[in-house]
Amino acid sequence: MGSLKHEFIRGTALRIAMPWGLAEVRPAVLAVRAFLAEHGLNEEELGACELALAEACNNAVQHTPPSRRSRPIRLEAVLAPLAVELRVTDHGPGFDWPSRVELPEPERECGRGLFLIQALMDTATYLRGPDSNCLLMQRARAEAVVTEGSPVRTAVELERLLAADERIIRDMTDELSSCYESLAAIFRFGREQASQSGIKEFCRRLLEDLLRVTQSRWHILRLLDGGTGELSVFTASDPSLYLKPLQLGDLAMAGRSLELESVQSRRDVWFDQPGMLPPDDPLAVVGGESVGLVHPVYFGDALIGTLVVGGSAATLRLTAAQVNVIHTFSDFLAIQIMNTRYQEERVGALLVARELEIARHIQRSLLLRSLPEVGGVQLSGYCESSGQVGGDFFDALKISDTSMLLLISDVMGSGIPAAMFAVILRGLVRASVAWAAQPAELLGRVNRLLFAELSDVEMFITAQLVHVDLARNRLTVANAGHCPLLVAGEEGRAPRAISPEGMPLGVLPEPEFGEEVLPLESGLRLFLYTDGLTEVSSPDGSEFGTQRLADWLAGCARSRMSVNAMKENLLEELNRFRFDEPLRDDQTFLILSR
Amino acid sequence: MNIRLAIQGDTLSIGGIRELNAANANAFRDQIRSAMSDTLKNIEIDLSQAIFLDSCGLGALISLHKTACSRRGLVRLVNPAMPVQQILELTRMHRIFEIVKAA
């Protein structure tokens, strides 16, 4: 007994530091038993507590390895009016408390300790920690505190005890009401969250509630922009508190801002006495008499922002319970903010995917199911999207039995807008076939109709029109900023690049479009394309280029290759050239032969 | 351990036990085993004075039960005091020990 250290706490608790050793258990347990007997526990209760405590201490001793035996095992007995609580804290590695404690086989000599603890006590909770483990055991008392045998107390002592009890009850009530408030608020907000229009409004209202619960006057919630490292005010209780953003890495500011300090230390920073706010802290606008707390808001390991809650020194009581409420609210806020961000990202990704799908659908609708047949002219076309939907397309319209209009176009941009303009352009051109024989005039007309819309969204369209007139054996070409078309004859000369003057549609309100007229000779090969075709690159980085295209076309014309064979042949050429390089742009072309 | 040992025929009688706990259970077990000469097969333990028995004490009693069984004998617990009787029943030890009330 001589080695035991006793410490009485408030007269209703006993704490004993027990040195390691099985022989130490019995005296320590007897000391606890004596303490409990003094406070009126009956024989049955004493026996139960004595044995449960002995078993707990034996376990603690047996599970402490030699390296940790210098630290004492702590025994505590706390007497509440309705229950007795026993705690044994050791510094060993602990053990796994079984999910079900059962009696071992009758013949086994050990393994009954935990069973006895559970049988003798009402609750047994084993808290295993990195540095210490605590076995917490409770047993309800048979009867309320017995006065028999307790020492006579003076009126002053009684008053003091009553005051202490009242203080405990008040603290407990506070804690309870705070917990209730935060739970109620969280449930209320949790329910409303589904119908919340914005996270900002949600945060503002939640924090208003927090101010009410904690009797604080003001708050500032800053959120971190992960991209810029800026902590900007998201919500504040007063317009004057929308302070300038703080920069995470701002060293000049680091020593002056309690908010940055809380982020760096990952701890609460208090200014709980008037005058503790540094005068050059941005927070100082709240006035030197203000007191409060800066809490860094984390979601797991991810910094979300900072929350400052403050008020006047006279009314703000930052008790442990209040601080708990602030932490609970802040954890809840962090979850909601992360949740909203995640939802936004998900919805954003869905919208992009949906937009691409719509755009692809539109682009597919532009593809001609069959090409018109006029006289002895053969047509073949190809339009392949590179994935990011662009605005490439071609059209071929039969005007009469001896004429048709070819259109190839590239709307600059991608997604739905590009696809929409492609549809509009095709519609306008189709509606303007009366001007088919004067393609320059037609382009001017379409430009007038589209200019306002295109320049509003800063888009433009390149296009090329070819009027094919079999009656007069000629081609009339007009161009709006599009790459030149190529013409090759079967005589084998180098193909000509035809590119009449003309700005893309949507650039100028009244541009001039030139026209060029070509003879439509037998054996001629006409090649219209968009520049995605010549920009196809090989693994070594070189482009397919117009020269290679011209050489290929000359070869096809010389050998009188059919347009369909030319299409297949060109695609093969391009794929061979590209090898395993991905397609970066759409590939669109239209071939005519006579 | 201050216990009394007596031999009656093939039975070893033990008395004067006040506590069987983690600190003394192994010593108690070893002392009884060494006292079990070849002619003895039963063990009778007077628990009327015993005020405390924990799971280690139970372990020692079970170990002695095995010793007795190996000699086709048994362990008899005599007049256990109420708290000890309750622990024996709680752990269902009354199923393997003969527990007797004797004058």
A56 pLDDT higher than 90: yes
Structural domain that includes position B57 = 4-100
Per residue in A499-550, pLDDT (tens digit) is 999 999 999 999 999 999 999 988 999 999 998 888 888 888 888 999 999 9
Q: Which of B19, B56, B87, B94 to mutate to test the interface with A (most CBs of A within 10 A)?
A: B56
Find the helix packing angle between A199-214 and A155-193, rounded to 10°: 170
Give the C-alpha separation, A340 to A307, whole Å: 18
Q: Which of A109, A115, A116 to mutate to test the interface with B (most CBs of B within 10 A)?
A: A109
Give the C-alpha separation, A91 to A73, whole Å: 7
**What are the CB-based long-range contacts (under 8 Å, 24+) for A538-546?**
A538/A577, A538/A578, A538/A579, A538/A581, A539/A579, A539/A580, A539/A581, A544/A574, A544/A577, A544/A578, A546/A483, A546/A484, A546/A497
| Domain count within chain B | 1
CB A419 within 8 A of CB A362: yes
A1 pLDDT higher than 70: no
Give the closest-approach CA distance of A145 to chain B in angstroms. Answer: 23
Residues of A in contact with B19 (CB under 8 A): 26
Give the closest-approach CA distance of B21 to chain A in angstroms. Answer: 8
Residue A177 has what pLDDT? 62
Give the C-alpha separation, B92 to B58, whole Å: 11
Residue B75 pLDDT level (bands cut at 50, 70, 90):
very high
Residue A220 has what pLDDT? 95
Inter-chain residue contact A110 with B87, CB threshold 8 Å: no
Q: Is B16 in CB contact (< 8 Å) with chain A?
A: no
Per residue in A422-479, pLDDT (tens digit) is 888 888 898 888 899 999 999 999 999 888 888 887 788 999 999 999 999 999 999 9
* Coil, strand or helix at A325: helix
Inter-chain residue contact B54 with A23, CB threshold 8 Å: no
Domain ranges, ordered by start, for chain A: 5-151, 165-343, 367-593
DSSP A545-563: HHHHHHHHHHHHHHTT--H
User: What DSSP character marks residue A493?
Assistant: P
Residue A187 has what pLDDT? 56
CB A519 within 8 A of CB A474: yes
**What are the CB-based long-range contacts (under 8 Å, 24+) for A263-269?**
A263/A231, A263/A296, A263/A303, A263/A306, A265/A296, A266/A296, A266/A298, A267/A296, A268/A293, A268/A294, A268/A295, A268/A296, A268/A323, A269/A293, A269/A294
Per residue in A3-20, pLDDT (tens digit) is 455 444 444 788 899 999
Mean model confidence pLDDT for chain B: 91
Beta-carbon-side half-sphere exposure of residue B82 (alpha carbons within 13 Å): 4
CB nearest B66 (choices: A55, A58, A107): A107
Give the closest-approach CA distance of A16 to chain B in angstroms. Answer: 19
Mean pLDDT lowest among A141-145, A200-204, A483-487, B7-11: A141-145
Specify the fold of A367-593. Answer: Phosphatase 2c; domain 1 (3.60.40)
User: Whole-model pTM above 0.90?
Assistant: no
CATH topology agreement for domains A5-151 and A165-343: no
Per residue in A236-294, pLDDT (tens digit) is 999 999 999 998 877 778 778 999 988 888 888 888 888 888 888 999 998 878 889 99
* pLDDT average, residue stretch A293-299: 90
Per residue in A64-94, pLDDT (tens digit) is 989 888 889 999 998 877 889 999 999 888 8
Inter-chain residue contact A58 with B92, CB threshold 8 Å: no
* pLDDT average, residue stretch A342-357: 76
Per residue in A372-393, pLDDT (tens digit) is 888 889 999 998 776 666 678 8
Find the helix packing angle between A22-38 and A43-62, rounded to 10°: 150
10 Å CB burial of residue B28 (0-12, 13-18, 19+) is buried
Q: Which amino acid makes up residue A359? A: A
Per residue in A301-311, pLDDT (tens digit) is 788 999 999 99
Per residue in A460-475, pLDDT (tens digit) is 899 999 999 999 999 9
Give the closest-approach CA distance of A65 to chain B in angstroms. Answer: 17
Residue A316 pLDDT level (bands cut at 50, 70, 90):
confident
CB A425 within 8 A of CB A461: yes
B27: domain CATH number is 3.30.750.24
Helices (H), A367-414: none
Tally DSSP H helices, then E strands, for chain B: 3, 7
Which residue in this structure is represented by tokens 């009581």?
Answer: A317
A201 pLDDT higher than 60: yes
CB A510 within 8 A of CB A583: no
CATH code for the structural domain at A5-151 = 3.30.565.10
Which residue in this structure is represented by tokens 């209040």?
Answer: A322
Inter-chain residue contact B62 with A22, CB threshold 8 Å: no
The fraction of chain A above a pLDDT of 90, given in percent, is 39
Residue A390 has what pLDDT? 66
Closest by CA to A36, choosing from A102, A3, A80, is: A80
Mean model confidence pLDDT for chain A: 84
CB B87 within 8 A of CB A116: yes
CB A422 within 8 A of CB A363: yes
* pLDDT average, residue stretch A160-182: 62
Q: Which of A112, A114, A116 to mutate to test the interface with B (most CBs of B within 10 A)?
A: A112
Give the C-alpha separation, A383 to A588, whole Å: 4
* Coil, strand or helix at A500: coil
Question: Any idea of the CA torsion for A470, A474, A478, A484, to the nearest 10 degrees?
Answer: 110
Residue A167 has what pLDDT? 64
Helices (H), A288-431: 320-366, 415-431
Give the closest-approach CA distance of A336 to chain B in angstroms. Answer: 52
Residue A472 has what pLDDT? 94
Residue B26 has what pLDDT? 93
Beta-carbon-side half-sphere exposure of residue A88 (alpha carbons within 13 Å): 29
Residues of B in contact with A22 (CB under 8 A): 22-23
Specify the fold of A165-343. Answer: Beta-Lactamase (3.30.450)
Find the helix packing angle between B25-35 and B55-70, rounded to 10°: 20
